[in-house]
Chains A and B, each alone.
Chain A
Amino acid sequence: MLRAPFSAIGLLITACLASSPVRGDALKDPYFGEALYHAHQGLFFEALERLDTEVKQHGGVDEPELDTLYHHIDDAEFSLGDFELRYRMHHRAGRAIKAVLEGAVDEEVRNDAAYRLARIHFQKNQLTDALQALERIEGRVPEAIRDDVEFLRANVLVSQGRPAESIDVLKNLQDSRNYGGFAAFNLGIAYLRGGQRDAALSQLDRAGQRKTDDPAELAIRDRSNLVLGTIYMESADYERAIPVLNRVRLDGPYSNQALLSSGWANLSLDQFERAVVPWSILAEREVTDSATQEAMLALPYAYGKLNVHGRAAVSYGAALDSFGAEVDKLNASIDSIRDGKFLEALIREEIRRDKNWVVRLRSLPDTPETYYLMELLASHDFQAGLQNYLDLADLRRKLLAWQGSFDSFEEIVEVRRSHYEPLLPDIDAEFRELDSRMRLRLEQHKMLVKRRDDLLTTPQPKFLATRDEQALLRQLDHLEAALGSSESAFASSLLHRINRLKGIVTWTLETEYHDRLTRFDKNLRSLDEAMAVAQQQYDQYVRSRQAATHSYNGYDKPVKQLRAKVGNAVDTVERLMARQGRLLEIVAIDELVARRGRLASYGDKARFALADSYDRATQAQARRDNSQ
């Protein structure tokens, strides 16, 4: 009984997109920010793709605390569930939100997650699970969702057949800024379902007189009046029904039903002239509406009661013509749907760019069926199926675009391969040569460093002799050896001279040792710098060499695998689109066939009533003629 009110209200339950959880803090992870950028535009696939990759990569790093997402990981996981929910992936969203619930997160975040989980369960009609999730909410609840939580709790309780328990919850929401009007209406319904008829009537009366200028609240106020009027009519209390029905705005979404009921209420009180007023208004409205169609029959019926049979006959005739034209349109619509035009219209890009695309469907050329399906389009199950169909169409577009990019990837890889492969053998040969020279120089450098370090601890002046000094010392050693053991005076004189020369060299080496060591150290440090530059160039070369190989190696397999995956996904998407589309078409055709049946039945009634009106008009005319 209450499914319609609650499903309609359910559209308003959807909370705002997790209002940029990182807005208050400095955003440290640009990729998370990028996901939010997509999400704020309603591009949840792109948002999920970005954030999913980022969260997975974060999970794979060795030191997560050094990763930029570390600072936002709770928000990121929460947002992941939120995006999945908005992308209508309830299964994954449920898992993600449960993960948040089980993690060590802030109380407010956990309560928000519990609320979202409850909402998922409610949408899937898992009422016990929804209530359990709501019962997990304790402590601090984010202010933005406090009323949402209570409103959802009331909805779950009523849907579980526990209206009495929902009453207190709804009473507390009467002054809610977002839910006041809805809570007022729902409270009336809860009383009604709980068997408290008088309380229900009073509450619906209050709900029907709320002061507001909010379009959604105005609509729910109309609805309260319509339901209250209908309850009065059901108990044949037509006098009370009429003023309540008259409170429904003439330009609101419930005005057609209200006008129709108002007419019947007046007729039931034998106030035929008053019945004509609402029905005359209604009969002029959009003929595809079932209330209008009924009014087109009811209006001449009232004329008949007023003994205006001629006018009644004319109105019946007009209704008959109108019904016939509508049946033709319905037949054309059914054929159009069978030709696949309905599904084509749904996925037209120019329509979907518009926020009110469902409404704009009506103005599409060559799609008469969309005229009749507005009510159907508003029903929850049909909307869910329709959204799935549209999501599948989007996925198909994406997959087909990706399929095209694989050829480009392969071409890039091939161009790089054909460029690098002929060059690399020569480059590698040169590199090997360079590599061996580099290694030699590195060894030499290492040796010099070691010598310097040794000299610092154990001074060795000879090690710092110049090339000339070394040659001189070698020559002096050689001369000394040539003299051998000769003991002649000449030899003795020569040896003396040799020793004196050695002494001069040794003197120089000893006295200049510290200066020479300082120069040696300075030169070695310059060499260090040159070696660092050489090493940097060497490393850069190695990186470039690796990059050249990596630019075309290792892509064949992943590209092939992804190509296969995309191909399979296209098949699956097309199969599901066909099934989903077929179901939508069946439901749409069923709806149109039912409408056609109703119109045919109205047509039959109109035909009999027309004949009857003619008879009565003729009889009346005859009576007038006789009396004259």
Chain B
Amino acid sequence: MSRFSRKVTLVLFAWMTLTSGNAQELSADDMRSLDGQVQEIKSDVLDIASDLGILEERLLYPTGTQLAVFVSMGEKETFRLDAVQIEIDGEMATHHIYSYQELEALRKGGVQRVYTGNVVTGDHELRVTMIGKLDNGKDFSESDSFAFAKGVKPKALGVTLAGPGLGKTGIHVGDL
């Protein structure tokens, strides 16, 4: 029986060292060699994505009319943002419902490009509505309108959201 026991002990150590056979090791070598090629194609596809992004922007959102709206959350904000709606000149531009991951990304300082579109040069109105829940569990909805002027250069507007305070708006818009 002690032979059987010794065998078990050996199996245990074999398990701990993960040296589980020549065939697997050979395949592991192959996998490592493939890894380099996978990294190369990732790099190529990233370059393609970058070129494609630039082409798409040029084609769909020319600089003369381009408008981008970015959403971020104020620092140390703890309210739960459920959705944001953006209207431009009274027309619905976009509406976004936030997943948990997206909300966490905003809380950690990420900036979401919520809208990219085209507007003519001149004066316009941006209306932002946010829907969420306060720390005390109370639902809230807040809207505010902002005037902005579109020139010949691409326009980027930053919407910063904060939990609504006493008599204070939680929505701030500025040029980026």
Query: Could you give, for residues 23-37 of chain B, a 1 whenever the CB lies within 8 Å of some chain A CB and a 0 otherwise?
Result: 110011011101111
Contacts of A89 in B (CB 8 A): 39, 42-43
Is A562 part of the binding interface, using a Cβ–Cβ cutoff of 8 Å? yes
Total interface residues in chain A, CB < 8 Å:
87
A292 CA to B16 CA, complexed, in Å = 17
Is B119 part of the binding interface, using a Cβ–Cβ cutoff of 8 Å? no
A116 CA to B49 CA, complexed, in Å = 26
Is A314 part of the binding interface, using a Cβ–Cβ cutoff of 8 Å? no
Identify which of residues 90-140 in chain B touch chain A, using a CB-to-CB cut-off of 8 Å.
101-102, 104-106, 108-113, 121
Contacts of A381 in B (CB 8 A): 24, 27-28, 31-32
Q: Which of A49-57, A436-444, A503-511 lines the interface with chain B?
A: A49-57
Option from B18, B24, B104 in Cβ contact (under 8 Å) with A3: B18
Option from B4, B11, B24, B56 in Cβ contact (under 8 Å) with A590: B24
A30 touching B30, Cβ below 8 Å: no
Is A294 part of the binding interface, using a Cβ–Cβ cutoff of 8 Å? yes
Residue of A nearest to B31 (CB): A385
A379 CA to B108 CA, complexed, in Å = 32
- Given A27-B72, A261-B12, A4–B17 Cβ distance below 8 Å? yes
- Given A234-B9, A264-B5, A409-B55, A590–B27 Cβ distance below 8 Å? yes
Is B50 part of the binding interface, using a Cβ–Cβ cutoff of 8 Å? yes
A295 nearest CB across to chain B (Å): 10
B35 touching A590, Cβ below 8 Å: no
Q: Which applies to chain A's interface (DSSP): helix, strand, loop or mixed?
A: helix
Contacts of B44 in A (CB 8 A): 565, 569, 572
A398 CA to B48 CA, complexed, in Å = 11
Is A186 part of the binding interface, using a Cβ–Cβ cutoff of 8 Å? no
- Given A92-B43, A395-B42, A590-B27, A37–B105 Cβ distance below 8 Å? yes
Residue of B nearest to A68 (CB): B176
A225 nearest CB across to chain B (Å): 13
A27 CA to B176 CA, complexed, in Å = 10
A to B contact number (C-beta, < 8 Å): 218
A7 CA to B15 CA, complexed, in Å = 13
Contacts of B41 in A (CB 8 A): 392, 395, 569, 572-573, 576
A186 nearest CB across to chain B (Å): 14
Is B149 part of the binding interface, using a Cβ–Cβ cutoff of 8 Å? no
A30 CA to B110 CA, complexed, in Å = 9
Is A166 part of the binding interface, using a Cβ–Cβ cutoff of 8 Å? no
Q: Which of A426-434, A450-458, A543-551 lines the interface with chain B?
A: A543-551
B39 touching A409, Cβ below 8 Å: no
Contacts of A565 in B (CB 8 A): 44, 48, 51
A53 touching B105, Cβ below 8 Å: no
**7 pairs, CB–CB < 8 Å, chain A vs chain B:** A23-B109, A37-B106, A92-B43, A260-B8, A301-B4, A543-B152, A583-B31
Chain B residues packing against A (C-beta within 8 Å): 1-2, 4-5, 8-9, 11-13, 15-18, 20-21, 23-24, 27-28, 30-32, 34-39, 41-46, 48-56, 59-60, 62, 64, 68, 70, 72, 75, 101-102, 104-106, 108-113, 121, 152, 156, 158, 176
Of all A-B residue pairs in the complex, the 7 with the closest CB atoms, nearest first, are A33-B111, A37-B110, A20-B109, A40-B105, A381-B28, A385-B31, A23-B109
Chain A residues packing against B (C-beta within 8 Å): 1-5, 7, 19-20, 22-23, 27, 30, 32-34, 36-42, 45, 48-49, 52-53, 56, 68, 87-92, 227, 230, 233-234, 257, 260-261, 264, 267-268, 290, 294, 301, 379, 381-382, 384-385, 388, 391-392, 395, 398-399, 402, 405, 409, 412-413, 540, 543, 547, 550-551, 555, 558-559, 562, 565-566, 569, 572-573, 576, 579-580, 583, 586-587, 590-591, 594
> Told that A264-B9, A569-B45 touch, could you supply 7 new A-B pairs with CB distance under 8 A?
A4-B15, A30-B158, A33-B110, A41-B110, A264-B4, A267-B1, A268-B2
